[in-house]
Structure 1
Amino acid sequence: MVAIRHVTGYAATGAAVLALALAGCGGGGGGSGGSSSKTSTPQNSGSTQKAATGSATSMLTTANIAKLGTVVTDGKGYVLYRFDADSANPTKVSCYSTCAALWPAATTTNQGSVTTKGIDKSLVSTVKRNDGSTQITLAGWPLYRYAKDDEPKEPYGQGVDGTWWAVTPSGAKITTPASTSSAPAPATTGTGGGGGY
């Protein structure tokens, strides 16, 4: 009986540690102020690499989302986002480590293999991430998925932390709030970042 209570205590402690780690990730902000000097290499997090490579796509297309308009999606119909802490000129990636677990990079195995539908192919390029993967960019902006978008055309990441935005076919960000009727309320850390840096 004592041993069972002891094991249960460890399980509860483990669950609490996991909850705190996820809370530190916040609603999805990926950095604090966008400083690239605070990025960490994703090799330290196996889950980050799995998330980033798990979002590989070979197609960018568009979809019409109520209240947002025309957005860019991957080949499976998942909404793609850009992050205000990144930059387009020059292209800079700021979302690594814990941030990348919640906001996996839209990656490809080869820039030439990305096809487009409804998007000017000349706006599509790539950037190398710290882990060596190739992230797709649109008009210079690195593209991401949101892990909480578990169905195609779900824009739950829209406006998270005031820094994550669905992207238009021209690479511009959509700042219209997403409908809140079906979207889960994102947790935030109150710092505006909370991406685990």
Structure 2
Amino acid sequence: MNKHLSIGLSAFALAALLSGCAGTSGTNTSTPPAATTTAPGSAAPGSAPASTSAPAVSTADLKVADSAAGKIVVDGKGMSVYYYTKDVKDSGTSTCTGGCLDAWPAVLAAADTPTVEGVTGTVGTIATPDGKKQLTINGMPVYYYAKDLATGDILGQGVGGVWYLVAPSGEMITAAAAGY
């Protein structure tokens, strides 16, 4: 009797283990990671990818990319970053809080020392209220726009007359993009 019970329990444990493995094989293999407040850019559920080949992902926190607005600063995954004109240069704080951060998530540093490729402006960090490190360029905090879902999107340019793309030099790009 004990032998049958032991074999039965072993078979049950093996079946549970295998069904658990079968239930997870293939999950999240073709779906991008869920969007977070710190790294927008994931495709909406059920949407088709923007291209058949993924852009090269850089290990840099910030780098330079071409856009309809010219050369701009993007994160290591190619997502555009923006300045908020209501922020005060070198204040060490962000004025975008609460609901503002839902639409304009802070661009966070991946490490204590930010790395850059092609950005000539001075890159640094400020502390966020939750203790993370928000990237700054020339003393101004930078943000994502939640509606920018793919690399190359610059939908936040000029929103409300207070959100603007960042040039590699750290200057604010206030001109409208050509054909935008």
TM range (shorter): 0.5 to 0.7
- Post-superposition, which runs of at least 4 consecutive aligned residues in structure 1 deviate over 3 A? 178-181
Read off the aligned partner of 1:163 and give its amino acid letter: V
In the alignment, what sits opposite 2:119?
119
Secondary structure of the residue aligned to 1:100 is: helix
Shift of 1:129: 1.0
Shift of 1:109: 4.2
Shift of 1:153: 1.2
2:79 paired with 1:93: no
User: How large is the RMSD of aligned CA atoms in angstroms?
Assistant: 1.9
In the alignment, what sits opposite 1:106?
107
1:115-140 deviations in whole A, cap 9, x for unaligned?
211113x7110000112111000110
Query: TM-score, normalization: structure 1?
Result: 0.59
Give the number of aligned pairs.
Answer: 127
Secondary structure of the residue aligned to 1:153 is: coil
Higher gyration radius (CA): 2
Structure with the greater relative contact order (CA < 8 A, sep ≥ 6): 1 or 2? Answer: 1
- In 2, distance between residues paired with 1:170 and 1:76? 20
- In 2, distance between residues paired with 1:130 and 1:74? 22
Q: Which runs of 5+ in 2 are unaligned?
A: 1-35, 41-58
- In 1, distance between residues paired with 2:145 and 2:179? 16
- In 2, distance between residues paired with 1:180 and 1:111? 39
* Alignment map for 1:16-95 (pairs within 5 Å): 50-52=36-38, 54=39, 58-66=60-68, 68-95=69-96
Secondary structure of the residue aligned to 2:119 is: coil
Q: Which runs of 5+ in 1 are unaligned?
A: 1-49, 182-197
Report which of the two has the higher share of helix.
1
Assess if the C-alpha contact under 8 Å between 1:156 and 1:178 holds in 2. Answer: no
**In percent, how many aligned pairs have the same letter?**
35
Shift of 1:171: 1.4
